[in-house]
Amino acid sequence: MRFADIPGHEDTKRRLREMIDAGRIPHAILLHGQPGTAKYALARAAAQYIHCSRRTPSGDSCGQCPDCIQHETFNHIDTIFCFPLLKKNSKPTICNDYAGEFRDLMQHDMYMNFDTWLSSLGNPNGQPAIYVEEITALLSRLNLKARQAKYKIVLLWLPERLRTEAANKMLKVIEEPFADTIFILTSDSPASILPTIYSRTQRIAVAPYSEAQLSDILQQSMAVDPQVADAAAALAEGSVTRATNLINVDSERRKYISFFMELMRAAWQRRVKDLRDWSLDIAALGREGSLRFYEYCARMIGENFIMNVGDDRLVAMTPDERAFAQKFSPFINERNVEKLLELFSKACADTAMNGNAKIIAFDLAVKTILLIKRGNE
């Protein structure tokens, strides 16, 4: 992966180049930002640039030397990939057991869609983690000298998924680093990283793409129709993954707007039996599907509030969403918007903690009755 292969993120590329060219490479770098940016691709490009023996005058790896060729095929002997996974039965499981699946993800998606990774692991509702067995195996490799390059480089995807024992063991490595080892961590949720690990990294924030950049990526890299690309970019908040999902899973979006309208209509009419049936349908979406639905609802609440109190031109909705909002938005106002957003946020948090999906959905539905009525007082 060369810097030139990655759309946008020019400020991040510049910062990485400058510290590498100056020979002032921190022993632990953390690239962090929302999902759907090219954080991990930037980490891979930085690793290749560090190892490249014939860097270009423009500040990129050459792509032709032996080190670059090995990077392009994910076979560089001094590059180590560390990532969250699911345990196979009860035996110790390490990243080498999933090396082929992870290579496929890197090869086909520079934006590292976590849902794609879950599917690769064979459990869309699983909770991958980095276990202590992986850090033990990693330490064994780091105790050996670099074989080919000056530095061994560990590319650690999602350090927020380090289990407690693994995180404590990793902390010792970062506190007392090997002289020939560089860690490049990429995180979607830096606030969830063990604070003592977070504080010992050189942190670089990776900004989301602008709407124009995102639309261009969709058109140039994925051959998306310009109008479709513009519409997806307006809703995706700078995330290529989110924009791609909007385009590829339109049927899911239609299902979500249907569920959202059903919830709000039944809540307004206090149809408790219908809300009970609705909660069963939401639970049937599975953990990840429920999370996406609750996030979708929170966005819809926000957009309806903006439509009600602000300029309609500021609203980013599809035509069917907008048609419903024309009548519904007056019920979302300063009397209930904050509590509604808190309600869906709590549902997300409880679902992420593997709470009972049916109870979470029904509890949310019943509380929505009171909050929708409050908006009409």
Q: How far is CA 94 from CA 70, 141, 183, 330, in A?
A: 22, 13, 18, 53
Q: Where are the alpha helices (DSSP H) in the chain?
A: 10-21, 39-51, 66-72, 99-108, 114-120, 132-142, 164-175, 195-198, 211-222, 226-235, 240-248, 250-268, 272-283, 286-309, 319-328, 337-352, 357-374
Residues 163, 131: contact at Cβ < 8 Å?
yes
Predicted TM-score (pTM) of this structure: 0.68
Q: What is the mean pLDDT of the chain?
A: 90
- Tens-digit pLDDT profile for residues 63-73: 999 999 999 99
Whether the CB-CB separation of 183 and 151 falls below 8 Å is answered with no
Q: Does pLDDT of 12 surpass 80?
A: yes
Per-residue pLDDT, 4 = 94
The pLDDT, as a whole number, for residue 126 is 78
Give CA–CA dist 185/196, Å, rounded.
Answer: 14
| C-alpha radius of gyration, the chain, whole number | 23
CB 93 within 8 A of CB 100: no
Opening angle at CA 71, ends 69 and 75, nearest 5: 95
Please state, in angstroms and rounded to a whole number, the distance separating the CA atoms of residues 133 and 326: 55
d(CA 143, CA 159): 21
Q: For residue 25, how far is the Cα from the chain centroid? A: 26
Q: In which band, very low, low, confident or very high, does the pLDDT at 231 lie, cut at 50, 70 and 90?
A: confident
Q: Which of 90, 102, 194, 178 is nearest to 141 (CA)?
A: 178
pLDDT digits (tens, 9 = 90+) for 304-348: 998 888 776 667 777 788 889 888 999 999 999 999 999 999 999
Helix (H, G, I), strand (E, B) or coil at 180: coil
Of 150, 136, 156, 148, nearest to 180 (Cα)?
150
Going from N- to C-terminal start, the domains of the chain cover: 3-207, 249-374
Q: Is the Cβ–Cβ distance between 6 and 110 less than 8 Å?
A: yes
Structure tokens at 66: 């032996």
- Nearest CA to 80 out of 178, 167, 204 is that of 178
Give me the half-sphere count of Cα atoms (radius 13 Å) on the Cβ side of residue 206.
Answer: 30
Q: Tokens at residue 342, please?
A: 């808190």
The third-level CATH classification (topology) of the domain covering 3-207 is: Rossmann fold (3.40.50)
pLDDT at 312: 67
Facing residues of 204 across strands? 31
Question: How far apart (Å, rounded) are the C-alpha atoms in residues 127 and 104?
Answer: 20
Query: Do the Cβ atoms of 6 and 38 come closer than 8 Å?
Result: yes
For residue 30, report the phi and psi dihedrals to the nearest 5 degrees: -120, 115
The model's pLDDT over 238-276, given as tens digits with 9 standing for 90+, comes to 999 988 887 765 667 778 999 999 999 999 999 999 999
What is d(CA 242, CA 249) in angstroms, rounded to the nearest whole number? Answer: 10
Check: CB of residue 297 under 8 Å from CB of residue 337: no
Token digits of residue 203: 């942190």
Q: With bands split at pLDDT 50, 70 and 90, how would you rate the model's confidence at 177?
A: confident
Q: In this model, does residue 150 exceed pLDDT 80?
A: yes
Rounded to whole angstroms, the Cα distance separating 46 from 25 reads 11
C-alpha 322/C-alpha 364 separation (Å) is 23
Confidence of residue 149 (pLDDT cuts 50, 70, 90): confident
Which of helix, strand or coil describes residue 173? helix
CA proximity to 369, closest of 305, 306, 278, 250: 278
pLDDT at residue 309, as a whole number: 82
Q: Annotate 9-19 with b (16+ C-beta within 10 A) or e (fewer).
A: beebbebbbeb
Q: What tokens appear for 37 in the block?
A: 């940016």
Q: Identify the H or E element spanning 92.
A: none
